[in-house]
Amino acid sequence: MRVAGALLVLTALSVTLRTGALDAGYWIDEAIAVGIASHDPGEIPGLLRQDGSPPLYYLLLHGWMTLVGDGEAATRALSLLFAAVAVPAAWWSGGRWAAAIVAVCPFLAYYAQEARMYTLVAVLSLVATAAFVRRRPVILVVALTLLLYTHTWGVFLLAGFAVVALRRGGLGPLALVAALYLPWMPSLVSQAAHTGAPWSVPPSVLYLVPAAAVVAWRPRDELVLAGAAGLTLAWLASQLEPAWSPRYLFVLFGPVLLVLARRPAWAVAPLLAAMVLVGPAATKSNARAVAVSVAQSVRPGDLVVVTQPEQVPVLHRYLPAGVEYLTPLGHPADPSLTDWRDALPRLRRARAERVLLPELVPGRRVVLVMPVYRRPRSPWARAVRRRTREWRAVLRAELRPLGATSRPDPTQFRSTVRAELFEVLR
């Protein structure tokens, strides 16, 4: 009874800390996720060949949206639910200190208010890790297989477990997990060949320093070895094909949490650092505000030119029905999605005279939506900036300007845009 009461208090605390931004406007990834999930479940696995993710979260989100709706708070409530489940999962996995850490973890607070899969990844990583340590093969196979079908980087946790399992003397249930993942392999190969991650850059070697220090300190600890091996393999893979994003490391949430829970004092410094790095959950994009500001000026048939193609699903969410969208990749066949297949070479070839100028029909209004970058580093961001400068110059030379939205500070948002309105006179 005492345990149940403590769990109830911790879970309530975790939910209380994670509801401040549920109704904020979507940012890019959330709008894409909701767009994918809005399709028929039978279509979702095929659509994901354009995106680069496994299907489990999107299928769950589809069912969730059927029950509670597709508004911002409604869709994010699924992530909040998984974050709440993470508290009892952590207690089962690592005891009361693990549950306490999860309840106040800033990273979970941030992603509990985002319509993405990361809180589900955290729960599955926790359960899989505990099952691996306790040698519960059935739970391990189920949790780790579900993790692989939720996020591709689950393969790095599988690989970390495999390193430890080989030391134990055999792969056992991990081979079954790999076999259960085989049906998704054709899609994974297609995604790796055609979607990639042009928006990413190779990670710094500094990411490996903490792992190396912990391994040097506790070289025989299975959790430390599994987490460090997974991190190292993810780092090496991202040197060959940049696909690095710190949030993907949620797949290693289980090993990290259980190591910290053994010595609660160790968790203080990481939690304080996380609070500084993450900060309060705030509006992650200004796209909704920009869309609302220009919506009264556009009519059905007007053209919305978006030089950062992946912003289209966000704008489609908030702009009036009937407008047409154009990006350097052409007219999106489905504006609720982003087709990442071979996107970078297509973007680099997208000259204004071939793609943009034929769309400037007399009497039509044109809204140019542009990203606001601080320091574009990735190949994708640099190519988007080149196309933005070129297309903006063409529109300013050819059309009559009608106004512009303010230029926001990109340090305040994960994703920032501004818009200019034009009219075609001839």
Q: Phi first, then psi: give them for residue 381, nearest 5 degrees.
A: -60, -40
Last residue of a domain, one of 218, 246, 278: 278
Same domain, residue pair 332 and 261: no
**CATH code, 409:** 3.40.50
CA dist., res. 92 & res. 158, Å (int): 21
Same domain, residue pair 73 and 202: yes
Q: What is the dihedral of CA 198, 119, 267, 247, to 10 degrees?
A: 0
Last residue of a domain, one of 250, 278, 306: 278
CA dist., res. 402 & res. 416, Å (int): 21
Query: Looking at the 3D structure of the chain, how many domains does it have?
Result: 2
CB atoms within 10 A of CB 142: 18
Same domain, residue pair 356 and 249: no
Q: Give the position of tokens 């659509």.
A: 47
Helix (H) or strand (E) holding 402: strand 400-404
Tell me, what's the pLDDT at 2? 81
CB atoms within 10 A of CB 70: 17
CA dist., res. 78 & res. 228, Å (int): 30
Same domain, residue pair 208 and 306: no
- Are 312 and 335 a contacting pair, CB within 8 Å? yes
Same domain, residue pair 268 and 314: no
* Angstrom distances, CA of residue 288 to CA of 176, 245, 297, 334, 353: 45, 25, 15, 19, 30
Provide the residue range defining the domain that includes 260. 2-278
Last residue of a domain, one of 259, 278, 297: 278
Q: Give the list of residues 6+ apart from residue 215 with CB closer than 8 angstroms, or none.
A: 224, 225, 228
Q: Give the list of residues 6+ apart from residue 226 with CB closer than 8 angstroms, or none.
A: 129, 132, 157, 160, 161, 163, 164, 255
Same domain, residue pair 259 and 301: no
Same domain, residue pair 96 and 182: yes
Helix (H) or strand (E) holding 423: strand 417-423
CA dist., res. 40 & res. 45, Å (int): 10
Same domain, residue pair 225 and 102: yes
Tell me, what's the pLDDT at 198? 84
CB atoms within 10 A of CB 402: 14
Same domain, residue pair 15 and 163: yes
Same domain, residue pair 253 and 128: yes
CA dist., res. 350 & res. 83, Å (int): 42
User: In one letter, which amino acid is 119?
Assistant: T
Tens of each residue's pLDDT in the chain, 426 residues: 788 888 888 888 888 888 888 999 999 999 999 999 999 999 999 999 999 899 999 999 999 999 999 999 999 999 999 999 999 999 999 999 999 999 999 899 999 999 999 999 999 999 999 999 999 999 999 999 999 999 999 999 999 999 999 988 888 899 999 999 999 999 999 998 888 778 888 999 999 998 888 888 888 899 999 999 999 999 999 998 888 999 999 999 999 999 988 887 777 777 766 666 666 556 789 999 999 999 989 999 999 999 999 999 999 999 999 999 999 999 999 999 999 999 999 999 999 999 999 999 898 999 999 999 888 889 999 999 999 999 999 999 999 998 888 888 887 888 899 999 999 986
CA dist., res. 271 & res. 14, Å (int): 14
CA dist., res. 315 & res. 357, Å (int): 22
Nearest to 27 by CA among 305, 290, 404: 290
Helix (H) or strand (E) holding 173: helix 173-181
User: In one letter, which amino acid is 399?
Assistant: L
CA dist., res. 213 & res. 229, Å (int): 13
Same domain, residue pair 309 and 238: no
Same domain, residue pair 187 and 304: no
Structure tokens at 187: 């899609």
Tell me, what's the pLDDT at 275? 66
Q: Phi first, then psi: give them for residue 285, nearest 5 degrees.
A: -150, 150
Tell me, what's the pLDDT at 425? 81
Give burial (CB, 10 Å; 0-12/13-18/19+) of 315: buried
Structure tokens at 330: 């052409």
Length reported for the chain: 426
Q: Phi first, then psi: give them for residue 151, nearest 5 degrees.
A: -145, 135
Distance of CA 99 to the CA centre of its chain: 24
